[in-house]
Amino acid sequence: MKTTESVQKLAAWMAFFAMTCMVAYATDPTQLQDFCVAINHLDDAPVFVNGLFCKNPANTSANDFLFQGLNVPRNTKNKLGSNVTIVSAANLPGLNTLGISMARVDFAPYGLNPLHIHPHATEILTVVKGTLFAGFVSSNQDGNRLFSKVLYPGDVFVFPQGLIHFELNIGKTRAVARVTLSSQNPGVITVANATFGSKPPISVDVLTKAFQVNKKIIKIIQSHFS
């Protein structure tokens, strides 16, 4: 009897350990060295691979870990009235393997950062200037609930990984937000662009049935994203 109980306890602990390991690996890989400055070419031999190709540590400098200009307001003269400046391993090579990135989001009055998804990262947004209405929608299993708040300077709001979210400037002046993301490559899928502006386009028949509208409406919307 004691032997059976011991085996059962051991099996339970092994199952728990296996589940813990699965959770531990559900993020960017942990770096195996102090840093791994990304490069886009292979002539800086030797190459150390850890996610992206890495510059020889002996050839790295402080500039590899520096990004300048995030204090500069961006141009928001577009249809949405917003502009996102992302700082990731693509333009700050020293971020490679460190599992984080950030962004500045500029909003014109009533500007919108439209419905979008970060498939690889959770987002933390901090309002620097202005007043934003921000929110995210939970998964189908949770009933697609909307979680939203009006945010003021100094307020922080979290968008869980992979969920649709947005920010709208509801003020009469410009707004600025800073964003931190839990991946060096968070990815972004703008819902409207992906749905109505894919290449090649999604079949009108598919979209007509999905949105329960007629084909004319779908074609009109697609024309704005082609």
Query: Which residues does the annotation place in the binding site for Mn(2+)?
Result: 116, 118, 123, 165
Token readout for 33 is 């060295």
Please spell the DSSP secondary structure of 137-166, one letter per residue.
E--GGGT--EEEEEE-TT-EEEE-TT--EE
Which 8-state DSSP code applies to residue 186?
Answer: -
User: Taking every pair of C-alpha atoms in the chain, what is the biggest distance, in angstroms?
Assistant: 75
Please spell the DSSP secondary structure of 34-62, one letter per residue.
S---B-SSS-SSSPEEESEEE--GGG--G
| Number of helical H runs and strand E runs in the chain | 4, 12
Instruction: Give the annotated binding-site residues for oxalate.
Output: 113, 118, 123
Q: How far apart, in whole angstroms, are the C-alpha atoms of residue 38 and residue 98? A: 11
Instruction: Give the annotated binding-site residues.
Output: 113, 116, 118, 123, 165
* Helix (H) or strand (E) run with residue 90 in it: none
